[in-house]
Each structure stands twice: as structure tokens, then as C-alpha cells.
Amino acid sequence: WSHPIKSTFVTFPGDIIKNKTDSELAESYLKKFGYLNTEQRSGFQSMVSTGKALKRMQRQMGLEETGELDKATLEAMKQPRCGVPDVAN
Amino acid sequence: YQTFDGDLKWDHNDITYRIVNYSPDMESSLIDDAFARAFNVWSQVTPLTFTRLFDGTADIMISFGKADHGDPYPFDGKDGLLAHAYPPGEGVQGDAHFDDDEFWTLGKGPVVKTRYGNANGALCHFPFTFEGRSYTTCTTEGRTDNLPWCGTTADYDKDKEYGFCPSELLYTFGGNADGAECVFPFTFLGEEYDSCTTEGRSDGYRWCATTSNFDKDKKFGFCPTRDTAVIGGNSEGEPCHFPFVFLGKKYSSCTSEGRGDGKLWCGTTDNYDDDKKWGFCPDKGYSLFLVAAHEFGHALGLDHSNIRDALMYPMYSYVEKFPLHKDDIEGIQYLYGPKTGPDPTPPQPRTTTTPFPDDKSEATKPTTTTTTSPVDPTKDACKLGSFDTITVIEGELHFFKDGHYWKISSRNGESVMGPFSISERWPALPAVIDSAFEDLQTKKMYFFSGARFWVYTGKNVLGPRSIEKLGLPNTIQKVEGALQRGKGKVLLFSGENFWRLDVKAQKIDAGYPRYTDVVFGGVPNDAHDVFQYKGHMYFCRERFYWRMNSRRQVDRVGYVKYDLLKC
């Protein structure tokens, strides 16, 4: 009776929220809120690294600055929030 | 705290806002109130004032929308992004948008304001007991007309207090049908509809026709969300259907099965596998007040804070206490400075020799009672922020305030005359007059103050009498405005309601009270002066007026001081 339940995920019609992997979620979060962006300065484009972006996000959220996509960071990314980017672009 | 690059801020302190549309989740008056309280959070600690406009462009335009809602930042369905706002400036700058795929509440579950019934529009009390059974949602039990209702106290069986819950069978909002209820079935593009639909719209809002044929009559309104309805999915507005079958298994309550995000959902037909109809189950929802207070922070120039307890922290969390943190206060005061000057205080009652009203003393008598303050000629009507009442007497606009009155006469080039002493002209009256009107047929003057009224015929006075004698309920604390409606009929306003007085019979007509916002859409619900002047109806709130034409369209919003007093 203690067999683990094997969940089947389905795609719900009309659902805007798509099932994403953790790294997909993190990447879209970091981009959406301005942590991971392409900065344009004097014609030079540089991509901020994901680790640096994660650290910046962790600092903003008052989390431990590990630069890793740890459980606490992932949980924070799933919380309901304001849509205004944390880092201005 | 953070401000936006360049410390973007408003270059004026009298900020205007406009609520462009409403969410179906809460009654419009609750939404109005949540936004007003959210602005108040900021006006309490800065010199900023916030005035609501009902048309035109305001500094802060507030709207609800779903997914792609007309700007480059689409919302994302239920949860996730709740709202966003733009920093101060022209155009979309300063505007605040709220995701209507969220369930908007006051943070602690459905807030259901009732209509009709006998509870004066009170909120539902959940749970409530009816015939020994406990109800946590509105119910149609005990009725044959399918209208959902609820108890407004814990025990309907004992208190018998109830009201009707939001339902498309009772009313609609927005649209062009003045809040009329849906008519089912109705025809739209040749098809017949038995329930509210999102067909024909790209914004996902549910609507219905308010006549049997939309194609012919073009009358419609949006459907309010029932408290039992699912949120989002593809069946918004429908209740859960229990039990329902999902992947061959029967469910008798909401489940998170099938989802990776743990959200509770239900089928809205008996078999999800066949019908694929579903929605999220109602939960505590998000506090519109808290989210709005945060968004208005952006609209005033604050960016996100990294202090977890600050209102401007980007994540939502529910708090019951005053939401501003020291960090928020420092941030907003960095932009606009601290609040200056004392809080406004209500006028103190003046000494009067008028005895407390006694209905037994109703008789026409010359009066000897007076207010005793002398007229101060330096009192300038143009320096007053608002008036106790404004009314037309003998064709001249009169402004009453705290024992004095001023008048504007077209015979006098529309300049202000006064101050005059109320006690000299109408000796029986108290200093503060809440409302007044002149009966056009008899030329009698009616004055209201608190729960009392007086009738002047020339120099003779009748009263004070209790307003209950007119048939007004004893719960009314004051009559705030009066509008002449045809011969011998006057509308009396108080709170969110109005009543029609038959002046000759001295009785309120049957069928009243009615909701002010249902009949007079677009004017403030909390107007403190309502009067008729030169064919227009005026609703005043603080120093502003909303002018409504005979077709009940607000055709002007302006300043009492500049437009009426000609200061």
C-alpha cells in the first residue's frame, strides 16, 4: 500500500502555464526580471553569465548567494510576484 | 529601497487616477475601496493626494486584463505574475495593470457582497447556518428561482439576515445595459446561448446579452463571478462538477493530479477525459489592496526593494497590518518629502440653544432658537476645501458651511456673495446642514442635518422631525444630497443608496432604496453634495464635482472652487 504514486502530467487545454523543467523556468525567470539580459553599451554586447545572474537574483531576494539553482532559489522563482523587472533594462 | 533610473517622479502632488474596468471577482464598490485604501497608504506618509476621475486621462490609469492585454508584457495565467505598473510619466507611464486570471479577493478567500435581501448590502458570512446545515459558499437551497444567496450573520435560522450573491441572473457589470441581468437564452450571431460566454471576445471576459437578441438590440454586460466558480482553465464561471472522472479515476474534490505545479483543479463536467472542461479551484486569492498598494508604489516612482518585509519587495505575501515598512516610507519620502501639516479635523459642533428634537414638538411655530456665531466677513468661500451642502434656492446657487452660507447669483454677474449667517435667515437650523432642497411647487425649503429635517415656509418652520417619519431607515446617519425629479418628487442620497421622496405625501416611494452606482454610473459613490443646477446633476466629492447630463452621462469633472464659485 505504500507504493509511490506515479503521477501523469497532462496538458490542460486553455492553460497558459506550461510544464517547464527547472532550468527552463530559471532561464525564463532570470530573463524576464532583468537578471539575465543582453546589455548594449557602446555597441558592445555582453551576455551576463547565468551564475552571475543567479547570484544577483539571490541577493535581491535575500537568499544565500550560491550562484547555483538550489532548492530555495527555485522555490522563490515559483512564488507569485509583481511583473516589474528587478533589474532595469 | 530603490527608485527608477533618473529618480522618475510626478511633477505635481495632486495625482489623479481612473479605474478603467473591473474584475468580475469582486463587487465594484469593494474594488473601488481597495484601490482607494491602497492610495491612502502612500498619501498618509507624503504630501500626495489622489483624486479619482471617471473619464478622460488620469495620471494613473488602472485596468484589469488577461494574458496579452495591450502592452508588451503579457500576463501568464493564474499565479506567477500578478500585476505590473509603470513609473511616472506620460502615456502608459504611471499606469497599473492587474492580471484577471488571478482570483482577486482581500487575501482571505472570496469576498461576497450581497445585493437586495434585508442585510443592506452586507458581506456574506461564511460559514452560515441554514435549516441546521452549515454553508461555506452561496447557495440556491431554499429557493425556486435559482438565485444564489447567503446569510450575512453566522446563523440565518436565528437572525434571518440575508442577501443575494453575485450572479448573472441578478446583474451584470460594465457593458451598455446599466447593470441589467442576463436574459437566457439569447441570440448572438444567429446562435443561441444559455449561459455567459466568451465567444466574440479576445480578452477572455464572460458576457451575456440583457435582451433575448443581441444581434438586434446590442445590449450586453459582463457576468460577475459566482463564489463557487472555477478560476481560469477553459470553463471560467462554471462550478466544479463532483464527482468528475480524470484519467479513468473518480474525484470528489479538487485535485492537483495531472499537474506539475501542485495547483488544485477540478472538472466542470462529469467526465474530464471526454469533455476536457476544467478550471482551478477557488482559493484564498490575492489581496487586491496589497497588490495595488505595491503597484501604486511603482506608479509613484519606487522600484523593487530587497527588504523582505517591505511592501516594495517583489514577492507577494499576505499581511493584515499596515503594509508600509520603514524602507518604503524612506523611499517615497526621498521622492516627495514627508507629509506636512495636520490631518484635517471635522468641524466641531457649535453651541446652539435648539433643544434636542422631539417628535412631539412638531408644530409650525416661529422659532427663537439660534446658532450664536457672528458672521466673519473675512471668511472666504474660495479658501474652503469643501462644503456641507450645495443647493439652489430661488434660482441662486447656495453653498453652506459650518454656520454660514454664500450664494452665487446670475443677477450679480455670478460673483460670490457672503458669508451670510444661517441663523439669521433660518434661525431654527443647526450650523451644519447636510442637504437641502427647495420644493419647486410649494417653494418650501427642506433642510436635513443628521437624522433630522426642517421645513421652512417663508419664516415659519416645521420641525425638527426625524427622517424616519419620511420612511427613511433608522440606519441612515445623514442625507447627503437631493435631486429634484419632476413634479413633487425628490431623490434623497445617503451612502451608496438613494430613495425617492414624494414631497406632497411626505413619504418615500415603494421600490427604494436603489444603488446610486447602478442608476448614476460614473459618479462617486461617496458624494457628499448632490444637487441640480441649470439642468445638470452635480455630485461633489471634496473639492471636485462630477456633472451629469439628463441622459445620465458624466460630461464634465471639475473644481467646485473654479467652475461653480468662480474663484
pLDDT digits (tens, 9 = 90+) for B443-490: 899 999 988 999 998 888 888 899 988 999 888 889 999 998 877 899
Cβ atoms of residues B41 and B293 within 8 Å: yes
- pLDDT, tens digit, 9 for 90 and up, residues B399-448: 999 889 998 876 666 778 888 889 888 988 988 899 999 988 888 999 99
Task: Provide the b/e sequence for B90-99 (b: ≥16 CB within 10 Å).
Answer: eeeebbbbbb
Contact A72, A62 (CB under 8 A): no
Between B475 and A48, the more confident residue is: B475
Minimum CA–CA partner of B267 in chain A = A12
In angstroms, the separation between the Cα of residue A42 and the nearest Cα of chain B is 19
pLDDT higher than 80, residue B75: yes
- What are the helix (H) ranges across B426-564? 516-519
Number of CB pairs < 8 Å for A and B?
97
- Cell numbers for B462: 416645521
% chain B with pLDDT above 90: 55
Q: What is the mean pLDDT of residues A31-50?
A: 65
| Amino acid B96: pLDDT | 98
Confidence label for B391 from pLDDT (cuts 50, 70 and 90): very high
Residue B366 has pLDDT above 60, yes or no: no
- β-strand B544-548 against B497-502: which pairing, if any? unpaired
pLDDT band with cut points at 50, 70 and 90 for residue B359: very low
What per-residue confidence (pLDDT) applies to A40? 44
Mean pLDDT of B213-238: 91
Q: Please give the average per-residue pLDDT across A12-23, as a whole number.
A: 76
- Of residues B121 and B38, more confidence is placed in B38
Per-residue DSSP letter, B564: I
Encode pLDDT of B139-195 as tens digits. Answer: 999 999 889 999 999 999 999 999 999 999 999 999 999 899 999 999 999 999 999
What is d(CA A30, CA B304) in angstroms, rounded to the nearest whole number?
A: 15
**Dist. CA B121–CA B223, nearest whole Å:** 19
As given in the structure block, the three cell numbers for residue B544 are: 471636485
Residue A52, CB half-sphere, CA atoms under 13 Å: how many?
Answer: 7
Residue B105 with chain A: CB contacts under 8 Å: none
Q: For residue B152, what is its C-alpha cell?
A: 450575512
B308 contacts in chain A (CB < 8 Å) = 62
Q: What is the DSSP string of B344-357?
A: P-PPPPPPB-PPPP
Q: How confident is the model at residue B544 (pLDDT cuts 50, 70, 90)?
A: confident
B414 belongs to the catalytic site: no
The answer to whether the CB atoms of A60 and B304 lie below 8 A apart is yes
For residue A44, is pLDDT > 60? Answer: no
Q: How much is the pLDDT for B66?
A: 92
Cβ contact B83–A83 (<8 Å): yes
pLDDT above 70 coverage of chain B, percent: 93
Q: Which of B295, B330, B394, B542 is catalytic?
A: B295
Is the model's pLDDT at B362 over the cut of 90? no
Residue of A nearest to B313 (CA): A61
Q: How confident is the model at residue B374 (pLDDT cuts 50, 70, 90)?
A: very low
The sign one gets for the Cα dihedral B201, B203, B207, B209 is negative
Most B-contacting residue of A15, A25, A30, A64 (CB-CB within 10 A), to test interface: A15
Shortest alpha-carbon distance between residue A3 and chain B (Å): 16
Instruction: Measure the CA–CA gap between A60 and A87, rounded to whole angstroms.
Output: 9
Query: CB of B451 within 8 A of CB of B467?
Result: yes
Confidence bin at B361 (pLDDT 50/70/90): very low
Mean pLDDT of B75-96: 94
* pLDDT of the residue at A2: 61
Instruction: State the pLDDT at residue B475.
Output: 83
Alpha-carbon span B44 to B46, nearest angstrom: 6
A6-20, B44-58, B201-215, B393-407: the lowest-pLDDT one = A6-20
Q: What is the pLDDT of residue B351?
A: 35
pLDDT (0 to 100) of residue B342: 58
Q: Which of A60, A5, A9, A71 is nearest to A30 (CA)?
A: A60
User: pLDDT-derived band of residue A19, with 50, 70 and 90 as boundaries?
Assistant: low
Q: In degrees rounded to 5, what are phi and psi of residue B537?
A: -100, 135
Sequence-distant (≥ 6) Cβ neighbours of residue B481 within 8 angstroms: B389, B435, B492, B493, B527, B528, B529, B530, B531, B539
Q: What is the rounded distance in angstroms from the CA atom of residue B214 to the CA atom of residue B208?
A: 9
B525: cell is: 459613490
Say whether pLDDT at B282 is over 70. yes
Residues of B in contact with A76 (CB under 8 A): 315
Chain A closest CA to B208's CA: distance in Å?
21
* pLDDT tier for residue B6 given thresholds of 50, 70 and 90: confident
User: What is the pLDDT confidence band of residue B511, given thresholds at 50, 70 and 90?
Assistant: confident
Q: Is the pLDDT of residue B63 over 90?
A: yes
* Rounded distance between C-alpha atoms, residue B204 and residue B4, angstroms: 33
Q: What is the ipTM of this complex?
A: 0.85
Rounded distance between C-alpha atoms, residue B295 and residue B293, angstroms? 6
Residue-level length of chain B: 567
Give the mean pLDDT of B515-543.
86
- Written in H, E and C, the secondary structure of B413-459 is CCCEEEEEEHHHHCCCCCCCCCEEEECCCCCCEEEEECCEEEEEECC
Question: Would you state the pLDDT for residue B352?
Answer: 36
Average pLDDT over chain B, rounded to an integer: 87
Neighbours of B56 (CB within 10 A): 10
